[in-house]
Amino acid sequence: MNKYGFFYLLLLLIVACSPKDDSQKTPKTDHNPADVYFEKALVLMDNDLDSAFLYLNRAQDLYQKRNDSFGLGKTYAKMAIVQERAGDNFGSVETGLLATKFLKEEDTAQYGALFLNYNNLGVSCNNLKNYADAKRFYRKAAKFVKNPIHRLMVANNMAIVFHNEKQYGQAVDIFSKLLDSVGSQSKYYPKLLLNFSRSKWYQDRNYNPVKNYLKAEKLSQNFDDDWTKDAAYAYLASYYLNKNNDSARLYANKMLDLAYKLKYPTDQLEALQILIKISGGSQVQKYFNTYCKIQDELITKQNRAKNQFALIRFESEKMKVENLNLQKQKTIIEYKVLRQKITNIFMIIIIIILAVTVFWWSRRKRQRLIAEANQRLQEQRLDFSKKVHDVVANGIYEVMATIENQPDVPRKQILDKLELMYEKSRDLSYNNDRHQEFNEKISSLVSSFHNAETKVVIIGNDPDFWKDIDGFSREELFQIIRELLVNIKKHSNATQVILKFVNEEGAHEIRYADNGVGLPENFPEKNGLKNIKARLKQMDARLEIEESRQGLKMVIKLKKENVQ
C-alpha cells in the first residue's frame, strides 16, 4: 500500500467506527423534506456516491429556501466528503470551505459537523500533497473534538501527514501514544500497529516490521476487518520488494485478490505495480495490461464522478433559474389580475358616481319641471282671471252701461250682447278645463263639500298619483269619489271625512274614512253603493270595506292594468 493508503485506512476508520453525530440527526417528528433527503444521503454514502450527492443537493436547495444556516453547513460538509471519496479533491476543498461559511464555531451543538468538515478538508489537502494546509485543518478539527474516537481520528491523520512529510520521528511518537491509549484489545489496535510499524521502518531501515505486520493481519481477522488485512498485505509486499521476490509476490497477490473483493482499484494498482517490478517475460506484459486497464477505468470513473457532481449542480441551478422564471411569470399574472380587479373596482366606482349624478340631476330636473309647471299653472290662472275680467266683467259692465245709458235699446240687442258674452265665457271655461290638472279637479270636487259642519281632509292628492292612471279609470274614480261625498250629505251625517291617496311601489289605493253612522248589519245596498261597485267592476278594481265601531272605512285598490 502506498502512502495514500494511510488516508483510506483512516477514512474507513471515520466512516465505519465513529459514533453517529447527533448534531446531524433530525428528530423523527419533524418530517421536514430537507432532513429526509439528508438522511437518505447518509444511508447511500457507503455504496452509491452519485445518489448520495443528488439527495444532498436536493436537501441543500430546501435548506436554502428555509434560510437554515446549519442545514446548509452540514449538507455542504457531507457533499465535500462524497467528492473526496470520488477522487474530486479540488471540488471537495471548495465545497468544504463553503460549508465553513454556514457553520457557527461558537455553537457547541454544531461541533460534530465542524469536526467532520475540517477533518475532511485536511484529508483532501493531504491527498493533494498540500501538507501545510492539511495540518492546519487537522488542528482546526481538534478544537471541535466531541469524543475519544474523534480525538483518535485527528491524531492518526496528523501522524499520517508527518509521515508523508518524511518527519517519521514525529509520526512514530504519535502512533506510539495512540497504541498505548487504546490498548491491545481495541479494534483500532491493528490499524495503529500497522501505521506505527511502517513509520518506524521508514525512520530506521534496520527495524524489522514484519512481526507487527503479521500480528496486525492476524488480529484483523478477529474483527472481520478486511481493510486492515489489505493494508498488512500491502506493507508486507512493500517490505519484501527488494529483499525476497517470492514473499513480495505472495503478499502482492493476496493484496490484489483482496482489493478485487473490496472493489478498491487504488490498492489493485499498487499490487500490480509490485508484481510488474518482480516479474519477467510475458507476466510483465499481462500485469501491465491489467494495470493500464484498471488505471483507465479509475480515471474515467473519477472524471465521470466529477462531471456527474458538476452536472447535478448545473441541473439544480438550471431548475432554480426555471423556478425563478416561473415565479416571475406567476408574479406578472398575479399583477395583471390585481390590476384588472383594481380597474373593475374603479369602473364600478365611476358607474356608481355616474348613477348618483344622473339620479341627482334627474331629481333636480324633475323638481325644476314641477316648479315650471306650477309656474305655468299660476300664469294660466292669472291669464284666465284676466280673460274672465276682460270678457265677463267688462262684458257685463258694457251691458249695464248700455241699459243705463240707452233705456230704449232694443231687447234683442241686449240678448245678443249677453249671448255673445255667454259664448266667450263658455270658451274660457272649456279652455281652462283642458289645462286643469286632474288632482286639481279632485280638489275642487272635495272643496265643494267642505263646510263648517263637515270637514273633509284630503291627503296625497298629487299629480304623481294620477299621472299613470288611464283616462277611463280617472273619470270613473271621479264619479265614485263624488258618490261618496254625496253620501255624506244624504246618509252618513259625518262631521269628519279623510280621503287619502296612496301610491307605494306602483300600488295605487284610495282610502276613505268618516265618523258617520256607517253601514249597519244586513244593510241593503242602495243605488249609491251599487253604482260604486259597478264602476269598480268595469275598472277591474277591488273594494274592501273594513269593519269599524264608528263610521265607515273602505279601500279602493287599483290593479296594475289600470295603471299605464
Residues spanned by the domain of 456? 438-562
Q: What is the C-alpha to C-alpha distance for residues 316 and 163, in angstroms, rounded to an integer?
A: 41
Residue 308 belongs to some domain of the structure? no
Q: What percent of the chain has pLDDT over 90?
A: 31
Q: What is the 3-state composition of the chain as percent helix, strand, coil, each rounded to the nearest 5?
A: 75, 5, 20
CB-based contacts of 550, cutoff 8 Å, min separation 6? 515, 518
Mean pLDDT of the region 375-385: 68
| Structural domain total, the chain | 1
Q: What is the C-alpha to C-alpha distance for residues 309 and 79, in angstroms, rounded to an integer?
A: 9
DSSP label of 491: I
- Locus of grid cell 478538508: 121
Residue 217 belongs to some domain of the structure? no
- Rounded to 5 degrees, φ, ψ at 77 are -65, -45
Q: Which long-range contacts link 357-365 to residues 24+ away (Cβ below 8 Å)?
A: none
Is 554 within 8 Å of 546 (Cβ atoms)? yes
Nearest CA-CA partner of 288 in 277, 300, 301, 299: 277
The pLDDT, as a whole number, for residue 253 is: 92
Would you state the cell numbers that stand for residue 531, as one nine-digit string?
Answer: 253604482
Residue 506 belongs to some domain of the structure? yes
Residue 488 belongs to some domain of the structure? yes
Mean pLDDT of the region 491-508: 86
Q: What percent of the chain has pLDDT over 70?
A: 78
Domain CATH for 470: 3.30.565.10
Q: Is the pLDDT of residue 144 over 80?
A: yes
Residue 363 belongs to some domain of the structure? no
Confidence of residue 10 (pLDDT cuts 50, 70, 90): very low
Angle at 46 between CA 44 and CA 47, to 5 degrees: 75
Q: What is the C-alpha to C-alpha distance for residues 156 and 315, in angstroms, rounded to an integer?
A: 39
Residue 40 belongs to some domain of the structure? no
Q: Is the pLDDT of residue 3 over 50?
A: no
Q: What is the C-alpha to C-alpha distance for residues 63 and 71, in angstroms, rounded to an integer?
A: 6
Residue 70 belongs to some domain of the structure? no
Lowest mean pLDDT: which of 3-17, 194-208, 263-277, 429-443? Answer: 3-17
pTM of the model: 0.51
Beta bridge partners of 502: 509
